[in-house]
Amino acid sequence: MAGRRRRPGSAYATLTQLGSPTAIPASPGEAVLERVPNPHPRKTYLARFTAPEFTSLCPITGQPDFAHLVIDYVPGRWLVESKSLKMYLTSFRNHGAFHEDCTLAIAGRLVDVLEPRWLRIGGYWYPRGGMPIDVFWQTGRPPAGLWIPDQGVAPYRGRG
């Protein structure tokens, strides 16, 4: 799509990042999270994004924190545009926040932008001070009949 012009009035005309060089946002608040129309809004299906190298900063020490994020959602009218999601998640690398805050902020922003039928997030954080902190959240009960695969992230076992 690089170098192609988007037709005015098309469903993708408002996208600002896809197909263009994009600078990493300075903070999550400055990141633009974009959406596109779901071509199958009446079908119940699960879309999954996995970010195995998510990084943020400890708000106290400034040291990096690392997580493996798994985001599952059942789209309604909208899909998240994946490049904008990558840029949004990358914007946390210079952002100081506790594990719980990062995980819930991501979920909340996605819910606000996408208005999904259902969303859950698993934040599998690597140890800080010798203790991993895993954070899980979902919007409510999943739709009936939805196949929800395991998130596939083993609990932290250290060297054991």
In angstroms, the CA 42 to CA 39 distance is 9
Q: What is the pLDDT of residues 96-148, one digit of tens each?
A: 999 999 999 999 999 999 999 999 999 999 998 888 899 999 999 999 999 99
**Domain ranges for the chain:** 35-138
120 sits in which H/E element: strand 118-125
pLDDT at residue number 14: 74
Please give the CATH number for the structural domain made up of 35-138.
3.30.1130.10
Alpha carbon distance, N-terminus to C-terminus of the chain: 47
The reply to whether 102 belongs to the active site is no
pTM of the predicted model, to two decimals?
0.88
Cβ burial, residue 32 (10 Å; 0-12/13-18/19+): middle
Question: β-strand 64-74 against 47-57: which pairing, if any?
Answer: antiparallel
Which pLDDT score is estimated for 53?
Answer: 96
Closest CA to 67 of 121, 23, 111: 121
58 is catalytic: yes
Would the CA dihedral through 38, 72, 85, 4 be positive or negative?
Answer: negative
pLDDT tens for residues 69-89? 999 999 999 999 999 999 999
Q: Which helix (H) or strand (E) holds 123?
A: strand 118-125
> CB of 80 within 8 A of CB of 37?
no
One of 65, 102, 112, 134 is an active-site residue; which one? 65
